[in-house]
């Protein structure tokens, strides 16, 4: 596959190709296997349904992220897999190899270190050397902006809502004698136009839904020179449905609610085995307990229950069930002897759900890229030059798409 960093008309072409792919197969990926079985598409593709439902757990683990490697994919599954792979293909940005000393990352988690290093290496050849100021958007403690300052020595402003993070960030600035300052502001409510310098480079690494949307909506009033955005948590919006920014996106009318947007975030990171173990156990026990609730209360579909403390999963399953009964004030009892039966049924249901979920994996990355390209299209419609590519490996972060824009 000939991968490329998308620019100009390439962005438009890919956006419309992705739009057609997602719109055509919307009934396949706007489903929720955890909550509704059988799925609506299964009656239309019974052979695909049977095939996926028969996947063993080792097969699911092996092929979840590389379906194209499965021998003898049935049609039309084969076509869907390869079309999704082609349309979501992206090249990595060129980069300049730079080395930041280890003391730069004191107190920074390992994955975040690699993400910051990778982003700085990509931005080094992209960003004009005459930019006179930098804004680190929703900066946390300012780890990204501080390290970019070390490379470019550009005065930096950090914007952060959490006052404690501002205080901790300021301590780091004072300790390292960096020319920068924190603004304790809520980017969704406060007017920042008079507080930010014009012609600045805006950095937003893994800014969540509303936060990166706000940056895009306000970027012109901030008179920015350039910005680098790696979006995250697309589902964290305050509207029922995603509101496309581009005129082209509005016409497509995908009607993405928060559940649909979650699809773009569903990747499991194999580099975090403990988190994976917790997630699997949580899903299995939720499903098992749901089977209890359905049988005892006469329900016919998944019953959504509130979240529970993580410590519940350290208990024997029978005690977990009793805790959930008490927590949710349910009016039934459960004997310890019947718990193993439900746990076994929950394990089997989870296997089926994950098997059917392999179909969702086909559309996960295309949907994420569509969401990023909607933002690029919005900027291009206003005459802004954009580029879209990868800035780090999947192992360092599944959210590795970067939108870089320069304003004339």
Residue 80 lies in a domain: no
Cα–Cα–Cα angle for 105, 110, 114, nearest 5°?
Answer: 80
H or E element: which one contains 24?
A: helix 8-24
- Give me the helix-helix angle, 110-126 and 143-152, nearest 10°: 40
Domain span at residue 337 reads 274-354
Tens-place pLDDT, residues 304-351: 888 899 999 999 999 999 999 999 989 888 888 888 999 999 999 999
Q: How far, in Å, are 184, 217, 239, 403 from residue 212 at the CA level? A: 17, 9, 15, 11
Distance (Å, whole) CA 84 – CA 364: 9
- Segment among 29-33, 86-90, 181-185, 200-204 with least mean pLDDT: 29-33
- For 329, the token pair is 């004030």
Is residue 229 within 8 A of residue 375, CB to CB? The reply is: yes
Query: Does residue 300 have a pLDDT over 80?
Result: no
User: What residues does 135 pair with on adjacent strands?
Assistant: 157, 202
How far is residue 333's CA from residue 298's CA, in Å, rounded to a whole number?
A: 14
Q: Is the pLDDT of residue 254 over 90?
A: yes
Q: Per the domain annotation, does 128 fall within a domain?
A: no
Place of tokens 């509130």: 306
Q: How many domains does the chain have?
A: 1
Give tens-digit pLDDT for 377-399. Answer: 999 999 999 999 999 999 899 99
Percent of the chain with pLDDT over 90: 81
CA distance 56 to 270: 18
Whether 152 maps to a domain, the answer reads: no
Structure tokens at 356: 């059917």
Q: For residue 120, what are the contacts with CB-CB under 8 A and spacing of at least 6?
A: 98, 100, 144, 147, 148, 151
Look at residue 212 and tell me if it is in a domain. no
pLDDT bucket at 269, cuts 50 / 70 / 90: low
| Predicted TM-score (pTM) of this structure | 0.94
Burial class (CB in 10 A: 0-12, 13-18, 19+), 148: buried
Residue 1: the pLDDT is 67
Asked if 390 and 92 count as a contact pair (C-beta separation under 8 A), the reply is: yes
Strand order across the beta sheet in which 180-184 lies: 6-7, 385-390, 401-406, 226-232, 201-208, 134-136, 156-160, 180-184
Q: How far apart are CA 64 and CA 385, in angstroms?
A: 36
Q: Is residue 213 part of a domain?
A: no
Q: Which helix (H) or strand (E) holds 78?
A: helix 77-87
Do the domain assignments include residue 11? no
On average, the pLDDT of the chain sits at 93
17 found inside a domain? no
Query: Is residue 8 included in any domain, yes or no?
Result: no
């Amino acid at each position: 596959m000939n991968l490329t960093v998308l620019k100009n008309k390439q962005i438009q072409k890919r956006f419309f190709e992705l739009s057609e792919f997602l719109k055509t197969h919307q009934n396949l990926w706007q489903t929720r296997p955890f909550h509704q079985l059988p799925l609506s598409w299964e009656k239309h593709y019974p052979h695909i349904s049977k095939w996926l439902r028969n996947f063993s757990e080792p097969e699911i683990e092996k092929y979840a992220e590389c379906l194209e490697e499965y021998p003898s994919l049935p049609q039309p599954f084969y076509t869907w897999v390869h079309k999704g792979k082609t349309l979501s293909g992206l090249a990595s940005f060129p980069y300049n190899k730079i080395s930041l000393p280890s003391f730069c990352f004191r107190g920074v988690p390992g994955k975040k270190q690699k993400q910051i290093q990778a982003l700085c290496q990509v931005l080094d050849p992209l960003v004009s050397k005459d930019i006179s100021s930098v804004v680190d958007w929703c900066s946390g403690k300012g780890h990204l902006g501080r390290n970019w300052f070390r490379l470019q020595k550009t005065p930096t402003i950090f914007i952060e809502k959490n006052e404690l993070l501002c205080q901790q960030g300021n301590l780091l600035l004072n300790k390292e004698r960096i020319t920068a300052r924190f603004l304790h502001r809520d980017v969704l409510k406060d007017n920042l136009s008079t507080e930010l310098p014009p012609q600045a480079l805006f950095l937003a690494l893994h800014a969540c839904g509303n936060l990166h949307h706000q940056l895009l909506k306000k970027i012109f009033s901030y008179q920015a020179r350039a910005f680098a955005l790696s979006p995250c948590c697309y589902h964290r919006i305050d509207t029922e449905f995603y509101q496309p920014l581009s005129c082209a996106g509005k016409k497509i009318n995908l009607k993405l609610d928060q559940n649909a947007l979650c699809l773009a975030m569903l990747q499991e990171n194999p580099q975090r085995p403990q988190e994976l173990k917790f997630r699997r156990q949580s899903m299995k026990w939720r499903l098992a307990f749901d089977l209890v609730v359905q049988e005892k209360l006469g329900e016919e579909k998944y019953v959504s229950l509130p979240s529970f403390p993580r410590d519940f999963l350290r208990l024997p399953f029978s005690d977990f069930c009793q805790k959930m009964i008490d927590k949710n004030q349910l009016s039934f009892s459960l004997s310890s002897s019947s718990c193993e039966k439900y746990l076994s049924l929950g394990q089997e249901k989870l296997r089926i759900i994950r098997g059917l979920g392999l179909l969702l994996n086909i559309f996960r990355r295309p949907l994420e890229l569509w969401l990023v390209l909607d933002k690029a299209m919005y900027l291009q419609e206003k005459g802004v030059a954009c580029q879209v590519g990868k800035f780090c490996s999947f192992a360092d972060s599944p959210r590795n798409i970067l939108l870089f824009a320069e304003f004339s």
